[in-house]
Amino acid sequence: MNLSKSKYTLGVRCCKLLWLSMFKKEEASEVESDSVLESGNLVGELARHLFGDTYTLIDFDKGFDNMIKDTIIALEDSPNIICEASFAYDNNFCSIDILKNDSDGVEVYEVKSSTDIKDIYIDDISYQVWVLKKNGLKVKNAYIVYVNSDYIKDGELDIHKYFKIKNVTNILNLDVVLENITKFKDILRNKTEINTDLSLSCKNPYPCPFFSYCTRSLPRPNVFDVGCSTFFSKKLDMYYQGKVTYEELLKTNAFSDKAREQMMFELYDLEPKIDKPSIKSLLDSFTYPLYFLDFESYQEAIPKIDGTRPYQQICFQYSLHYYLEEGGKLYHKEYLSCDYNGNPMYGLSKQLCDDIPLNSCILVYNDSFEKTRLKEMALLFPDYSSHLLNIRDGIKDLLPPFKNHQYYVKEMYGSASIKKVLPALFPNDKTLDYHNLEDVHKGDEASNAYLSLSKLSKDKEEKLRTNMLKYCWLDTYAMVKIYNKLKEDIK
Protein backbone atom coordinates (compact mmCIF):
# COMPACT_ATOMS: atom_id res chain seq x y z
CA MET A 1 0.00 0.00 0.00
CA ASN A 2 1.48 3.33 -1.12
CA LEU A 3 1.09 6.63 0.71
CA SER A 4 1.87 10.11 -0.59
CA LYS A 5 2.10 13.34 1.39
CA SER A 6 -1.27 14.49 0.03
CA LYS A 7 -2.94 11.25 1.20
CA TYR A 8 -1.16 11.59 4.54
CA THR A 9 -2.55 15.10 5.08
CA LEU A 10 -6.04 14.01 4.02
CA GLY A 11 -5.85 11.29 6.68
CA VAL A 12 -4.71 13.75 9.33
CA ARG A 13 -7.69 15.96 8.52
CA CYS A 14 -10.17 13.07 8.66
CA CYS A 15 -9.79 9.31 8.10
CA LYS A 16 -13.10 9.16 6.28
CA LEU A 17 -11.99 11.96 3.97
CA LEU A 18 -8.95 9.87 3.06
CA TRP A 19 -11.10 6.78 2.41
CA LEU A 20 -13.75 8.64 0.39
CA SER A 21 -11.08 10.43 -1.70
CA MET A 22 -9.74 7.02 -2.64
CA PHE A 23 -12.91 4.97 -3.15
CA LYS A 24 -15.83 7.38 -3.60
CA LYS A 25 -14.37 10.39 -5.41
CA GLU A 26 -17.59 10.83 -7.37
CA GLU A 27 -19.42 11.86 -4.19
CA ALA A 28 -17.27 15.01 -3.79
CA SER A 29 -19.39 18.09 -4.34
CA GLU A 30 -16.69 20.34 -5.70
CA VAL A 31 -13.09 20.21 -6.83
CA GLU A 32 -10.50 22.92 -6.52
CA SER A 33 -10.76 25.32 -9.45
CA ASP A 34 -8.04 25.36 -12.12
CA SER A 35 -7.17 28.96 -11.22
CA VAL A 36 -6.42 28.01 -7.57
CA LEU A 37 -4.22 25.10 -8.68
CA GLU A 38 -2.52 27.27 -11.30
CA SER A 39 -1.74 30.00 -8.79
CA GLY A 40 -0.25 27.39 -6.41
CA ASN A 41 1.98 26.10 -9.22
CA LEU A 42 3.15 29.60 -10.15
CA VAL A 43 4.07 30.39 -6.54
CA GLY A 44 5.92 27.07 -6.29
CA GLU A 45 7.90 27.79 -9.45
CA LEU A 46 8.77 31.28 -8.23
CA ALA A 47 10.06 29.97 -4.89
CA ARG A 48 12.61 27.77 -6.69
CA HIS A 49 14.63 30.96 -7.23
CA LEU A 50 14.88 31.77 -3.51
CA PHE A 51 18.47 30.54 -3.41
CA GLY A 52 19.48 31.85 -6.83
CA ASP A 53 18.76 30.74 -10.36
CA THR A 54 20.92 27.63 -10.24
CA TYR A 55 19.10 24.54 -9.02
CA THR A 56 18.44 20.97 -10.08
CA LEU A 57 14.81 20.27 -10.93
CA ILE A 58 13.80 16.63 -10.69
CA ASP A 59 11.58 15.94 -13.68
CA PHE A 60 8.09 14.99 -12.49
CA ASP A 61 7.12 13.46 -15.85
CA LYS A 62 9.68 10.66 -15.55
CA GLY A 63 7.69 8.77 -12.93
CA PHE A 64 8.49 8.25 -9.28
CA ASP A 65 11.14 5.53 -9.61
CA ASN A 66 13.20 7.67 -11.98
CA MET A 67 12.65 10.75 -9.83
CA ILE A 68 14.12 8.89 -6.86
CA LYS A 69 17.11 7.73 -8.97
CA ASP A 70 17.69 11.28 -10.26
CA THR A 71 17.50 12.58 -6.68
CA ILE A 72 20.18 10.14 -5.50
CA ILE A 73 22.47 11.43 -8.28
CA ALA A 74 21.68 15.10 -7.51
CA LEU A 75 22.40 14.60 -3.81
CA GLU A 76 26.00 13.69 -4.66
CA ASP A 77 26.52 17.21 -6.01
CA SER A 78 26.38 18.82 -2.58
CA PRO A 79 26.21 21.69 -1.78
CA ASN A 80 23.31 22.37 -4.15
CA ILE A 81 19.60 23.15 -4.36
CA ILE A 82 17.25 20.37 -5.51
CA CYS A 83 13.63 21.11 -6.36
CA GLU A 84 11.11 18.23 -6.26
CA ALA A 85 13.75 15.98 -4.68
CA SER A 86 11.91 12.65 -4.33
CA PHE A 87 12.20 9.94 -1.72
CA ALA A 88 10.46 6.77 -0.62
CA TYR A 89 10.59 4.67 2.49
CA ASP A 90 8.51 1.53 2.92
CA ASN A 91 6.13 2.72 0.16
CA ASN A 92 5.76 6.18 1.69
CA PHE A 93 6.57 8.69 -1.02
CA CYS A 94 7.25 12.40 -1.03
CA SER A 95 8.70 15.13 -3.21
CA ILE A 96 10.26 18.08 -1.42
CA ASP A 97 9.48 21.48 -2.94
CA ILE A 98 13.00 22.76 -2.23
CA LEU A 99 15.79 20.74 -0.65
CA LYS A 100 18.86 22.72 0.37
CA ASN A 101 21.53 20.08 0.22
CA ASP A 102 24.41 21.37 2.35
CA SER A 103 27.62 19.50 3.04
CA ASP A 104 26.59 18.93 6.69
CA GLY A 105 22.95 17.95 6.15
CA VAL A 106 19.80 19.11 4.39
CA GLU A 107 17.13 21.74 4.92
CA VAL A 108 13.53 21.21 3.79
CA TYR A 109 11.41 24.05 2.36
CA GLU A 110 7.70 23.44 1.84
CA VAL A 111 6.14 26.15 -0.33
CA LYS A 112 2.53 27.26 0.18
CA SER A 113 0.61 29.82 -1.85
CA SER A 114 -1.42 30.96 1.16
CA THR A 115 -0.72 34.03 3.26
CA ASP A 116 -0.76 32.23 6.62
CA ILE A 117 0.45 28.98 8.13
CA LYS A 118 -2.20 26.37 8.81
CA ASP A 119 -1.70 23.53 11.33
CA ILE A 120 -2.02 20.96 8.57
CA TYR A 121 1.15 22.33 6.92
CA ILE A 122 3.10 21.18 9.97
CA ASP A 123 1.79 17.63 9.51
CA ASP A 124 2.60 17.83 5.81
CA ILE A 125 6.24 18.81 6.38
CA SER A 126 6.56 16.40 9.36
CA TYR A 127 5.75 13.51 7.03
CA GLN A 128 8.41 14.70 4.58
CA VAL A 129 11.07 15.08 7.28
CA TRP A 130 10.20 11.59 8.62
CA VAL A 131 10.68 10.05 5.14
CA LEU A 132 13.99 11.91 4.73
CA LYS A 133 15.28 10.74 8.10
CA LYS A 134 14.32 7.16 7.27
CA ASN A 135 16.46 7.59 4.15
CA GLY A 136 19.38 8.37 6.41
CA LEU A 137 19.56 12.09 5.70
CA LYS A 138 20.47 14.54 8.44
CA VAL A 139 17.68 17.13 8.44
CA LYS A 140 19.02 20.31 9.98
CA ASN A 141 15.91 22.45 9.63
CA ALA A 142 12.42 22.50 8.16
CA TYR A 143 10.77 25.66 6.86
CA ILE A 144 7.39 26.74 5.53
CA VAL A 145 7.65 29.28 2.71
CA TYR A 146 4.44 31.29 2.29
CA VAL A 147 3.19 34.53 0.76
CA ASN A 148 3.67 37.89 2.46
CA SER A 149 0.28 39.57 2.13
CA ASP A 150 1.81 42.97 3.03
CA TYR A 151 4.23 42.95 0.12
CA ILE A 152 3.53 45.76 -2.35
CA LYS A 153 5.04 45.36 -5.78
CA ASP A 154 7.25 48.24 -6.81
CA GLY A 155 9.16 47.57 -10.03
CA GLU A 156 10.67 44.12 -10.45
CA LEU A 157 9.20 41.53 -8.08
CA ASP A 158 11.43 41.13 -5.02
CA ILE A 159 11.20 37.43 -4.26
CA HIS A 160 12.78 37.83 -0.82
CA LYS A 161 10.16 40.36 0.23
CA TYR A 162 7.33 38.50 -1.53
CA PHE A 163 7.91 35.32 0.48
CA LYS A 164 7.96 34.82 4.23
CA ILE A 165 9.91 31.87 5.62
CA LYS A 166 9.20 30.31 9.02
CA ASN A 167 11.43 27.78 10.71
CA VAL A 168 9.12 25.03 12.03
CA THR A 169 11.78 22.52 13.06
CA ASN A 170 10.84 22.71 16.72
CA ILE A 171 7.12 22.21 16.21
CA LEU A 172 7.16 19.20 13.90
CA ASN A 173 4.82 16.31 14.75
CA LEU A 174 7.39 13.60 14.06
CA ASP A 175 6.31 11.32 16.93
CA VAL A 176 2.93 10.56 15.38
CA VAL A 177 3.98 10.01 11.77
CA LEU A 178 4.59 6.26 11.97
CA GLU A 179 1.41 5.68 13.97
CA ASN A 180 -0.57 7.71 11.43
CA ILE A 181 0.97 5.95 8.44
CA THR A 182 0.07 2.54 9.89
CA LYS A 183 -3.49 3.69 10.60
CA PHE A 184 -4.00 5.27 7.17
CA LYS A 185 -2.67 2.23 5.33
CA ASP A 186 -5.04 -0.01 7.30
CA ILE A 187 -7.92 2.26 6.33
CA LEU A 188 -6.98 2.18 2.66
CA ARG A 189 -6.69 -1.61 2.67
CA ASN A 190 -10.27 -1.82 3.86
CA LYS A 191 -12.80 -1.72 1.04
CA THR A 192 -15.68 -1.12 3.45
CA GLU A 193 -16.51 2.52 4.07
CA ILE A 194 -15.29 3.64 7.46
CA ASN A 195 -17.49 5.45 9.90
CA THR A 196 -16.19 8.75 11.24
CA ASP A 197 -18.43 11.30 12.87
CA LEU A 198 -18.58 14.93 11.79
CA SER A 199 -16.07 17.25 13.42
CA LEU A 200 -14.52 20.70 13.05
CA SER A 201 -12.37 19.14 10.32
CA CYS A 202 -15.46 19.18 8.08
CA LYS A 203 -14.99 22.94 7.67
CA ASN A 204 -11.48 23.62 8.90
CA PRO A 205 -8.94 24.34 7.46
CA TYR A 206 -10.99 23.88 4.26
CA PRO A 207 -14.64 23.00 3.63
CA CYS A 208 -14.71 19.25 3.02
CA PRO A 209 -16.08 18.33 -0.44
CA PHE A 210 -17.85 15.30 1.09
CA PHE A 211 -19.95 17.26 3.56
CA SER A 212 -23.22 16.76 1.64
CA TYR A 213 -22.45 13.06 1.36
CA CYS A 214 -21.67 12.68 5.07
CA THR A 215 -24.84 14.50 6.12
CA ARG A 216 -27.12 12.87 3.52
CA SER A 217 -29.05 10.81 6.09
CA LEU A 218 -29.96 13.74 8.32
CA PRO A 219 -33.55 15.03 8.10
CA ARG A 220 -33.95 18.19 6.00
CA PRO A 221 -33.82 20.95 6.91
CA ASN A 222 -31.36 20.28 9.70
CA VAL A 223 -28.95 22.15 11.97
CA PHE A 224 -26.40 22.50 9.17
CA ASP A 225 -28.95 24.41 7.06
CA VAL A 226 -29.15 27.20 9.63
CA GLY A 227 -27.68 30.37 8.07
CA CYS A 228 -27.57 33.86 9.57
CA SER A 229 -23.78 33.70 10.20
CA THR A 230 -24.17 30.90 12.74
CA PHE A 231 -20.81 29.37 13.69
CA PHE A 232 -20.18 25.82 12.53
CA SER A 233 -18.92 24.94 16.02
CA LYS A 234 -22.32 25.84 17.46
CA LYS A 235 -24.12 23.69 14.90
CA LEU A 236 -21.77 20.82 15.65
CA ASP A 237 -22.41 21.20 19.35
CA MET A 238 -26.16 20.85 18.77
CA TYR A 239 -25.60 17.88 16.45
CA TYR A 240 -23.53 16.11 19.14
CA GLN A 241 -26.39 16.73 21.61
CA GLY A 242 -28.74 15.00 19.16
CA LYS A 243 -30.62 18.22 18.40
CA VAL A 244 -30.82 18.24 14.64
CA THR A 245 -34.29 19.23 13.42
CA TYR A 246 -35.59 22.80 13.53
CA GLU A 247 -38.25 21.71 16.03
CA GLU A 248 -35.56 20.42 18.40
CA LEU A 249 -33.31 23.43 17.88
CA LEU A 250 -36.09 25.93 18.56
CA LYS A 251 -36.55 24.39 22.02
CA THR A 252 -33.01 25.51 22.90
CA ASN A 253 -31.73 29.03 23.44
CA ALA A 254 -28.59 28.33 21.48
CA PHE A 255 -29.34 30.42 18.40
CA SER A 256 -29.56 34.11 17.57
CA ASP A 257 -32.93 35.77 17.04
CA LYS A 258 -32.30 35.85 13.30
CA ALA A 259 -31.43 32.16 13.16
CA ARG A 260 -34.57 31.35 15.17
CA GLU A 261 -36.56 33.48 12.77
CA GLN A 262 -35.14 31.59 9.79
CA MET A 263 -36.19 28.28 11.37
CA MET A 264 -39.66 29.58 12.27
CA PHE A 265 -40.25 30.84 8.73
CA GLU A 266 -39.33 27.53 7.15
CA LEU A 267 -41.06 25.38 9.73
CA TYR A 268 -44.35 27.24 9.82
CA ASP A 269 -44.33 28.62 6.27
CA LEU A 270 -44.69 32.19 7.58
CA GLU A 271 -45.72 35.13 5.43
CA PRO A 272 -43.04 37.67 4.35
CA LYS A 273 -41.92 40.04 7.08
CA ILE A 274 -41.54 43.69 6.06
CA ASP A 275 -40.47 46.29 8.60
CA LYS A 276 -41.83 49.25 6.64
CA PRO A 277 -40.60 52.14 8.85
CA SER A 278 -36.98 50.88 8.89
CA ILE A 279 -36.92 50.27 5.16
CA LYS A 280 -38.61 53.61 4.45
CA SER A 281 -36.01 55.43 6.49
CA LEU A 282 -33.23 53.77 4.45
CA LEU A 283 -34.93 54.52 1.11
CA ASP A 284 -35.56 58.13 2.16
CA SER A 285 -31.80 58.57 2.54
CA PHE A 286 -31.29 57.88 -1.19
CA THR A 287 -31.24 60.83 -3.60
CA TYR A 288 -31.54 61.25 -7.36
CA PRO A 289 -29.82 60.88 -9.77
CA LEU A 290 -29.55 57.37 -8.31
CA TYR A 291 -26.83 54.97 -9.48
CA PHE A 292 -26.54 51.19 -9.08
CA LEU A 293 -22.95 50.01 -9.28
CA ASP A 294 -21.22 46.63 -9.30
CA PHE A 295 -17.54 45.77 -9.86
CA GLU A 296 -16.03 42.54 -11.12
CA SER A 297 -12.49 41.73 -10.07
CA TYR A 298 -9.83 39.06 -10.11
CA GLN A 299 -7.07 38.12 -7.66
CA GLU A 300 -3.59 36.86 -8.39
CA ALA A 301 -1.15 35.30 -5.95
CA ILE A 302 1.79 37.02 -7.65
CA PRO A 303 1.01 40.70 -8.26
CA LYS A 304 1.85 41.97 -11.75
CA ILE A 305 0.82 45.57 -11.22
CA ASP A 306 2.98 48.07 -9.35
CA GLY A 307 1.34 49.33 -6.18
CA THR A 308 -0.69 46.13 -5.64
CA ARG A 309 -0.34 43.26 -3.13
CA PRO A 310 -0.65 39.47 -3.46
CA TYR A 311 -4.31 38.48 -3.86
CA GLN A 312 -5.45 42.11 -4.10
CA GLN A 313 -8.79 42.41 -5.88
CA ILE A 314 -8.09 43.95 -9.30
CA CYS A 315 -11.21 45.51 -10.81
CA PHE A 316 -11.60 45.04 -14.56
CA GLN A 317 -15.31 45.61 -15.15
CA TYR A 318 -18.35 47.44 -13.88
CA SER A 319 -21.99 47.81 -14.66
CA LEU A 320 -23.89 50.97 -13.85
CA HIS A 321 -27.66 51.40 -14.04
CA TYR A 322 -29.09 54.77 -13.13
CA TYR A 323 -32.19 56.93 -12.86
CA LEU A 324 -31.81 60.66 -13.39
CA GLU A 325 -35.08 61.25 -11.56
CA GLU A 326 -37.55 59.29 -9.48
CA GLY A 327 -39.91 57.32 -11.72
CA GLY A 328 -37.87 58.29 -14.77
CA LYS A 329 -36.21 56.23 -17.49
CA LEU A 330 -33.61 53.62 -16.52
CA TYR A 331 -30.19 54.15 -18.19
CA HIS A 332 -27.18 51.89 -18.33
CA LYS A 333 -23.41 52.28 -18.77
CA GLU A 334 -20.67 49.70 -18.48
CA TYR A 335 -16.96 49.13 -18.69
CA LEU A 336 -14.91 46.04 -19.48
CA SER A 337 -11.18 46.52 -19.82
CA CYS A 338 -9.24 45.54 -22.95
CA ASP A 339 -5.95 46.21 -21.20
CA TYR A 340 -5.26 42.54 -20.54
CA ASN A 341 -1.54 42.93 -19.92
CA GLY A 342 -1.59 46.30 -18.20
CA ASN A 343 -3.54 47.75 -15.32
CA PRO A 344 -7.30 47.43 -15.99
CA MET A 345 -8.08 49.64 -13.00
CA TYR A 346 -6.71 52.72 -14.74
CA GLY A 347 -9.19 52.76 -17.64
CA LEU A 348 -11.95 51.67 -15.27
CA SER A 349 -11.26 54.54 -12.85
CA LYS A 350 -11.14 57.06 -15.68
CA GLN A 351 -14.47 55.99 -17.15
CA LEU A 352 -16.11 55.61 -13.75
CA CYS A 353 -15.30 59.26 -13.00
CA ASP A 354 -16.83 60.20 -16.37
CA ASP A 355 -19.93 58.11 -15.73
CA ILE A 356 -20.69 59.12 -12.14
CA PRO A 357 -20.80 62.87 -11.43
CA LEU A 358 -19.49 64.25 -8.15
CA ASN A 359 -21.77 64.06 -5.11
CA SER A 360 -23.97 61.30 -6.51
CA CYS A 361 -25.90 58.71 -4.56
CA ILE A 362 -24.66 55.24 -5.51
CA LEU A 363 -26.28 51.99 -4.44
CA VAL A 364 -24.26 48.81 -4.11
CA TYR A 365 -24.98 45.45 -2.50
CA ASN A 366 -22.61 44.90 0.45
CA ASP A 367 -20.72 48.19 0.48
CA SER A 368 -17.41 47.09 2.02
CA PHE A 369 -16.25 45.52 -1.25
CA GLU A 370 -16.86 48.53 -3.51
CA LYS A 371 -15.68 51.03 -0.89
CA THR A 372 -12.39 49.20 -0.39
CA ARG A 373 -11.79 48.91 -4.15
CA LEU A 374 -12.46 52.64 -4.63
CA LYS A 375 -10.04 53.52 -1.85
CA GLU A 376 -7.34 51.29 -3.37
CA MET A 377 -7.83 52.83 -6.81
CA ALA A 378 -7.77 56.34 -5.34
CA LEU A 379 -4.34 55.53 -3.86
CA LEU A 380 -3.09 54.25 -7.19
CA PHE A 381 -4.32 57.09 -9.42
CA PRO A 382 -3.77 60.58 -7.97
CA ASP A 383 -5.47 62.19 -11.02
CA TYR A 384 -8.76 60.51 -10.12
CA SER A 385 -8.23 60.21 -6.40
CA SER A 386 -10.59 62.92 -5.17
CA HIS A 387 -13.36 61.90 -7.58
CA LEU A 388 -13.05 58.21 -6.66
CA LEU A 389 -13.17 59.07 -2.96
CA ASN A 390 -16.20 61.26 -3.61
CA ILE A 391 -17.92 58.27 -5.27
CA ARG A 392 -16.94 56.18 -2.26
CA ASP A 393 -18.49 58.72 0.11
CA GLY A 394 -21.73 58.64 -1.89
CA ILE A 395 -22.18 54.87 -1.57
CA LYS A 396 -25.27 53.48 0.15
CA ASP A 397 -25.91 49.83 0.80
CA LEU A 398 -28.95 47.76 -0.22
CA LEU A 399 -27.86 44.78 1.90
CA PRO A 400 -28.91 45.84 5.45
CA PRO A 401 -32.69 45.36 5.11
CA PHE A 402 -32.06 41.74 4.18
CA LYS A 403 -29.13 41.12 6.50
CA ASN A 404 -31.03 42.57 9.46
CA HIS A 405 -34.24 40.71 8.55
CA GLN A 406 -36.16 43.96 8.12
CA TYR A 407 -37.27 42.28 4.92
CA TYR A 408 -37.40 38.51 5.21
CA VAL A 409 -39.05 35.74 3.22
CA LYS A 410 -38.56 32.08 3.96
CA GLU A 411 -36.95 31.39 0.57
CA MET A 412 -33.92 33.43 1.67
CA TYR A 413 -33.01 30.43 3.90
CA GLY A 414 -31.05 32.61 6.32
CA SER A 415 -28.91 34.22 3.63
CA ALA A 416 -28.78 37.87 2.55
CA SER A 417 -26.62 37.16 -0.49
CA ILE A 418 -28.07 38.80 -3.59
CA LYS A 419 -27.92 35.43 -5.35
CA LYS A 420 -30.38 34.10 -2.70
CA VAL A 421 -32.44 37.25 -2.22
CA LEU A 422 -33.16 37.76 -5.92
CA PRO A 423 -34.88 34.41 -6.63
CA ALA A 424 -36.62 34.66 -3.25
CA LEU A 425 -38.19 37.99 -4.24
CA PHE A 426 -38.78 37.17 -7.90
CA PRO A 427 -39.29 33.41 -8.04
CA ASN A 428 -40.92 33.32 -11.46
CA ASP A 429 -38.92 35.96 -13.35
CA LYS A 430 -36.74 34.12 -15.87
CA THR A 431 -35.00 37.34 -16.91
CA LEU A 432 -33.44 37.49 -13.44
CA ASP A 433 -32.27 33.89 -13.43
CA TYR A 434 -28.47 33.64 -13.57
CA HIS A 435 -28.82 30.04 -14.81
CA ASN A 436 -30.10 31.40 -18.12
CA LEU A 437 -26.84 33.21 -18.82
CA GLU A 438 -24.10 31.74 -20.98
CA ASP A 439 -20.48 31.18 -19.88
CA VAL A 440 -20.58 33.44 -16.82
CA HIS A 441 -23.02 32.89 -13.94
CA LYS A 442 -21.06 34.00 -10.87
CA GLY A 443 -18.16 36.17 -9.76
CA ASP A 444 -15.36 33.60 -9.94
CA GLU A 445 -16.43 32.64 -13.46
CA ALA A 446 -16.22 36.32 -14.44
CA SER A 447 -12.66 36.51 -12.99
CA ASN A 448 -11.55 33.38 -14.83
CA ALA A 449 -13.20 34.62 -18.02
CA TYR A 450 -11.33 37.92 -17.86
CA LEU A 451 -7.99 36.20 -17.24
CA SER A 452 -8.59 33.94 -20.26
CA LEU A 453 -9.53 36.70 -22.73
CA SER A 454 -6.01 37.44 -23.96
CA LYS A 455 -5.49 33.79 -24.93
CA LEU A 456 -8.63 33.49 -27.08
CA SER A 457 -9.20 33.96 -30.81
CA LYS A 458 -10.89 37.24 -31.75
CA ASP A 459 -14.29 35.57 -32.25
CA LYS A 460 -14.20 33.70 -28.96
CA GLU A 461 -12.93 36.77 -27.14
CA GLU A 462 -15.84 38.86 -28.47
CA LYS A 463 -18.39 36.21 -27.54
CA LEU A 464 -17.00 35.85 -24.03
CA ARG A 465 -16.84 39.62 -23.56
CA THR A 466 -20.52 39.85 -24.57
CA ASN A 467 -21.45 37.19 -22.00
CA MET A 468 -19.36 38.90 -19.32
CA LEU A 469 -21.20 42.15 -20.00
CA LYS A 470 -24.56 40.37 -19.75
CA TYR A 471 -23.57 38.87 -16.40
CA CYS A 472 -22.47 42.16 -14.85
CA TRP A 473 -25.51 43.93 -16.35
CA LEU A 474 -27.74 41.47 -14.52
CA ASP A 475 -25.96 42.17 -11.20
CA THR A 476 -26.95 45.84 -11.25
CA TYR A 477 -30.33 45.23 -12.89
CA ALA A 478 -31.04 42.87 -9.98
CA MET A 479 -30.33 45.75 -7.59
CA VAL A 480 -32.71 48.00 -9.53
CA LYS A 481 -35.43 45.36 -9.28
CA ILE A 482 -34.81 44.87 -5.54
CA TYR A 483 -34.85 48.62 -4.94
CA ASN A 484 -38.17 49.01 -6.80
CA LYS A 485 -39.63 46.03 -4.97
CA LEU A 486 -38.70 47.56 -1.62
CA LYS A 487 -40.34 50.84 -2.69
CA GLU A 488 -43.47 49.02 -3.79
CA ASP A 489 -43.75 46.84 -0.71
CA ILE A 490 -43.53 49.67 1.83
CA LYS A 491 -46.37 51.62 0.25
CA R_g for the chain:
27
Closest CA to 147 of 174, 115, 110: 115
Residue whose beta carbon is closest to ligand SF4 = 208
| d(C-alpha 309, C-alpha 303), whole Å | 6
Report in angstroms the alpha-carbon separations of 21 from 18, 31, 177, 289, 316. Answer: 5, 11, 20, 54, 37
Which of 205, 328 has the CB closer to ligand SF4? Answer: 205
Does residue 20 belong to the site contacting ligand SF4 (CB under 6 A)?
yes
| d(C-alpha 17, C-alpha 188), whole Å | 11
SS3 165: strand
User: According to CB under 6 A, which one of 3, 10, 12, 14 is a site residue for ligand SF4?
Assistant: 14
Does residue 12 belong to the site contacting ligand SF4 (CB under 6 A)?
no
Does residue 263 belong to the site contacting ligand SF4 (CB under 6 A)?
no
Which of 68, 198 has the CB closer to ligand SF4? Answer: 198
Number of residues that bind ligand SF4 (CB under 6 A): 12
Which of 211, 369 has the CB closer to ligand SF4? Answer: 211
User: According to CB under 6 A, which one of 202, 259, 315, 490 is a site residue for ligand SF4?
Assistant: 202
Does residue 224 belong to the site contacting ligand SF4 (CB under 6 A)?
no
Report in angstroms the alpha-carbon separations of 176 from 179, 202, 257, 281, 386. Answer: 5, 22, 44, 60, 58
Does residue 201 belong to the site contacting ligand SF4 (CB under 6 A)?
yes
User: According to CB under 6 A, which one of 196, 204, 278, 385 is a site residue for ligand SF4?
Assistant: 196
**Distance in Å, CB of 215 to ligand SF4, minimum:** 7
Does residue 16 belong to the site contacting ligand SF4 (CB under 6 A)?
yes
Which of 60, 240 has the CB closer to ligand SF4? Answer: 240
**Distance in Å, CB of 18 to ligand SF4, minimum:** 8
**Distance in Å, CB of 208 to ligand SF4, minimum:** 3
| d(C-alpha 67, C-alpha 57), whole Å | 10
Does residue 288 belong to the site contacting ligand SF4 (CB under 6 A)?
no
Does residue 214 belong to the site contacting ligand SF4 (CB under 6 A)?
yes
CB 417 within 8 A of CB 411: no
Does residue 364 belong to the site contacting ligand SF4 (CB under 6 A)?
no
Contacts of 255 (CB under 8 A, 6+ apart): 226, 230, 234, 249, 263
**Distance in Å, CB of 198 to ligand SF4, minimum:** 5
Query: If you write DSSP's letter for every residue of 220-232 in order, what string do you get?
Result: SSBGGG--TT--H
Please name the residue ranges forming H helices in 328-457: 344-355, 367-380, 382-393, 400-403, 418-425, 443-452
User: According to CB under 6 A, which one of 3, 99, 188, 208 is a site residue for ligand SF4?
Assistant: 208
Closest CA to 407 of 274, 292, 290, 223: 274
SS3 197: coil
Interface residues with ligand SF4 (CB under 6 A)? 14, 16-17, 20, 196, 198, 201-202, 208, 210-211, 214
